[in-house]
Structure 1
Amino acid sequence: MASLDISSMQDVPENYIWYEDMDPPHSSANENDIIPVIDFQGLRRQEEEENIIEQIGSACKKWGFMQIINHGISEKLLENVSIQGRRLFSLPLEQKLKAKRAPDGVTGYGEARISPFFSKLMWSEGFTCVGSPVEDAKKLWPEDHQNFCEIIEEYEHAMKNLVKRMMSLIGRSLGLSTGDFMRRCRIQDDSYGKALQTGALQMNYYPPCPQPLRTMGLAPHTDSACLTLLYQGEVAGLQIQHRGEWVTVPVIPNALIVNIGDLMQILSNGRYKSRLHRAVANRSRSRLSIAYLWGPPPRDVIMPVPQLVDSKHPLLYKSLTWNEYLVAKSLHFDQALQLFSYNTSFSSDGNLSF
């Protein structure tokens, strides 16, 4: 991990410069390229529910992304989790490094996991939490971590409930019964009421950048999980690749961004695709994004839902576990999905062939 404190930099070091010119293709100029916004208020009225499910299906097919409003997560909770995120990233670098993510670890402070696949560094820092944040929080605030932990755990609980709701709606948009799709996705509790699925909370912080057009906040990638719920706060920066262009996702107060991940592409047998996205830097304002990434239990077998395989939609992907997929992603990055495709094999030198 780079140990430079980019928050205090007046100039951009060479190893952070991605573009030599000052005008990279940052976003599309097509005013019609607007990510769908879906109002969940209508779910309270049965006559509007089917229309909302249709909107979700259309957004998943065309974009792999949507923004949702009136989703049930309170403005106060979104504000509180943002305050705690900024509190964390405002700590001195040496303090944040006390909770540094281990090389083979999942939780803690560090640079983006995709960094090893790129020759240049990204203008961001991150913090990952899976389950209770207490262990890492004690390293950051030995005497004052309780409020951080309480708010993070409250937010995680709210996200888990919203994920269940979203997955039910997505299943229905695919023409599947809620119960069957939820079982296929392993959205269930054990006999003691403990959730079996896995969720990770990922906070990313992007300090103001002296030369934002020459840097990259977070490089293009797809999410490995089934579903991501993202709160981007008050500053735009997320961009989606759509029809060969980068489209900026506008800020809508208190909205959440929902995006399809790689495992959902497998579950849907390619009906819904995981889309490339990235984050760009900002000259004058810092940006905090808070993502909740949901996946099935690590060792449960995932495969395309049988009802989504037919003569017009042949089986595209092999069975796998999330653990297997994460290992493949860590080795092959953007080729990981192809590794589990029936059109993919390994060549004699160990490389992927298509």
Structure 2
Amino acid sequence: MEVEELQKQLVSSLSTMHKSLYVKDFMWSENEWPKIRHDDYESGDNMPLISLLEILDGKRESEAYENLCKDMVMACESWGFFKLVDHGIPNVVIESMKERCLGLFDLPMEQKLKGERSSNLPLGYSPTNTDYGHNLPWAESLQLLQSPQQVLTFSKKVFGNEHSPFR
């Protein structure tokens, strides 16, 4: 299949009922590729680490809190992400969350789209972020606020009566 033919192929697994997406929508020119290679930081060297140890007491009116916020902004501006450590969240909770998210993304598209972002649910599942720009990432996303009600609404839409494990 020629490149031009391939570019016209519908990516049905990421298309939504609102917009059809084609391979060409996901193609990036070489000058748009990330400047950092995925394996440049495989050992974690130089990856920004942000520790919450100094602010776990909840005091947001401190110099430590201000410095932490500045470090997060710098990490996001230069890397786009950071590794959060010393947060106090038990590993069992983190692993459970990962398992639930992987389970969500493994669902059939029809079921995932029940929790799609909409005017009633401004955050939720998205097969891709069409607000991203003219070139889309090959990624699904889930955006939820730290709102128990929003998570419950989302999980009921997607999982129905079986929403408790995800919630």
- TM-score band w.r.t. shorter chain: 0.5 to 0.7
* Residue of 25, 44, 47 corresponding to 1:15: 25
Per-residue CA deviations over 1:293-320 (Å, capped at 9, x if unaligned) read: xxxxxxxxxxxxxxxxxxxxxxxxxxxx
* Residue of 12, 27, 38 corresponding to 2:36: 27
* Residue of 136, 146, 149 corresponding to 2:164: 146
Going from structure 1 to structure 2, the CA distance change for 1:107 and 1:36 (only over 3 Å counts) comes to: closer
- For the pair 1:110 / 2:126, whether they are aligned, the reply is yes
Amino acid at match of 2:139: S
Shift of 1:81: 0.9
Report the structure, 1 or 2, having the larger strand content: 1
**Alignment partner of 2:155: what SS?**
helix
Amino acid at match of 1:71: H
- For the pair 1:5 / 2:13, whether they are aligned, the reply is yes
Amino acid at match of 1:16: F
**Alignment partner of 1:129: what SS?**
coil
Q: TM-score, normalised by structure 2?
A: 0.58
Is the contact made by 1:39 and 1:70 (CA closer than 8 Å) also made in structure 2?
A: yes
**Alignment partner of 1:116: what SS?**
coil
Structure 1: any 5+ residue segments left out of the alignment? 7-11, 45-49, 150-354
Amino acid at match of 2:131: P
Shift of 1:60: 5.1
Amino acid at match of 1:37: L
Shift of 1:129: 2.7
For the residues of structure 2 that align with 1:107 and 1:35, how far apart are their CA atoms? 28
Shift of 1:17: 0.8
Alpha-carbon RMSD across the aligned residues, in angstroms, is 3.9
Partner of 2:7: none
Going from structure 1 to structure 2, the CA distance change for 1:109 and 1:34 (only over 3 Å counts) comes to: same
Amino acid at match of 1:80: S
Alignment of structure 1 residues 160-309 onto 2, 5 Å: none
For the residues of structure 1 that align with 2:49 and 2:85, how far apart are their CA atoms? 7
Partner of 1:136: 154
**Alignment partner of 1:134: what SS?**
helix
Is the contact made by 2:115 and 2:157 (CA closer than 8 Å) also made in structure 1?
A: yes
For the residues of structure 2 that align with 1:147 and 1:60, how far apart are their CA atoms? 31
* Residue of 45, 56, 68 corresponding to 2:84: 68
For the residues of structure 2 that align with 1:42 and 1:128, how far apart are their CA atoms? 28
Q: Give identity over the alignment, percent.
A: 23
Partner of 1:120: 135
Aligned residues: 134
Q: TM-score, normalised by structure 1?
A: 0.31
